[in-house]
Amino acid sequence: MTVLGQQKDSSMKDKLTFTDSWFNSEGDLDGLPTLIRGRDSLKNVFETKLYNNRIEIVWEFSDKSDSGMPSNKESDFMEKVENAIVDSLERNLESVLVSVFTWNNTRTWFFYTKSTEGFKGILNDALSQFEERLPIHITVESDPELINTNQKL
C-alpha cells in the first residue's frame, strides 16, 4: 500500500492511500483480443483533486502479430520499462498509474499526474537507463471534470 501523506481537508481520511491491488480483464474488440489491467481502488486519490492531468503513453509493438499481442520478448521488455516508470513516478507521489490497455499491436498506460512538467522530468530520468530509443508516444489532456466528480472509480 502506498501512503500519499496528510490531507489539508479535514473531511478526508488522515492519510491518502492506494493499493497495489489490480483487476485484470480479457476481451475482444474488432475481432482482436484485449487485455485491461487497472487499479482496484483509487477513489480517495481522485478526491484530492490534485491529479488533474491524464497522460497516455502508447507503445507501438515492433514485433507486429496477427493477434495484436506482444511477443514474449517485447512483453518482458515493456514490463521492465513499466516498472522503471511507475517506481519513479509513484515514489514522489507525482503521478499514479491507473490502467493499462493492450490491443491491436499497442499497449497504452494511463496515468494521472499533478504536474505535466514534473511528470516529464521524472519520466525522462526513468527512461534514461534504457539505451535504445523506445517506440512510444505521449499525449496529455487536462481532465478536471472526471477527477473532480464523486463518481465511483
Per-residue model confidence as pLDDT tens digits over 6-29 = 334 433 334 556 667 899 999 999
Task: Tell me which residue has cell 497516455.
Answer: 56
User: Which three cell numbers, joined as nine digits, stand for 3?
Assistant: 501512503
- Any idea which of 3-12, 43-52, 58-67, 89-98 has the lowest mean pLDDT? 3-12
Percentage of the chain lying above the pLDDT 70 cut: 80
Distance of alpha carbon 48 from alpha carbon 128, whole angstroms:
31
Residue 152 has pLDDT above 80, yes or no: no
63 sits in the region (left: phi over 0; alpha: psi -120 to 50; else beta) called beta
CA angle in degrees (0–180, nearest 5) for 79-84-85: 95
pLDDT value for 143: 66
- What single letter denotes the amino acid at residue 78? M
Q: Which amino acid is at 56?
A: E
Cα torsion 35, 40, 43, 44 to 10°: value is: -130
Cα atoms in the 13 Å half-sphere on the side-chain side of 130: 18
Tallying the residues shown for the chain, one arrives at 153
Distance (Å, whole) CA 103 – CA 87: 24
Answer whether 111's CB lies under 8 Å from 98's CB: yes
Q: Report whether pLDDT(5) > 50.
A: no
Mean pLDDT for 76-104 is 94
H helix runs in 14-110, sequence order: 43-47, 72-91
> What is the structure's pLDDT at 148?
46
% of the chain surpassing 90 pLDDT: 63
Instruction: Report the chain's mean pLDDT, rounded to a whole number.
Output: 84
Choose the weakest-confidence range: 67-76, 94-103, 117-126, 138-147. Answer: 138-147
> For residue range 43-59, what is the model confidence (pLDDT) as tens digits?
778 788 888 899 999 99
What pTM, to 2 d.p., does this model score?
0.82
Rounded to 5 degrees, φ, ψ at 102 are: -120, 125
Least confident of 14-23, 29-38, 74-83, 135-144: 14-23
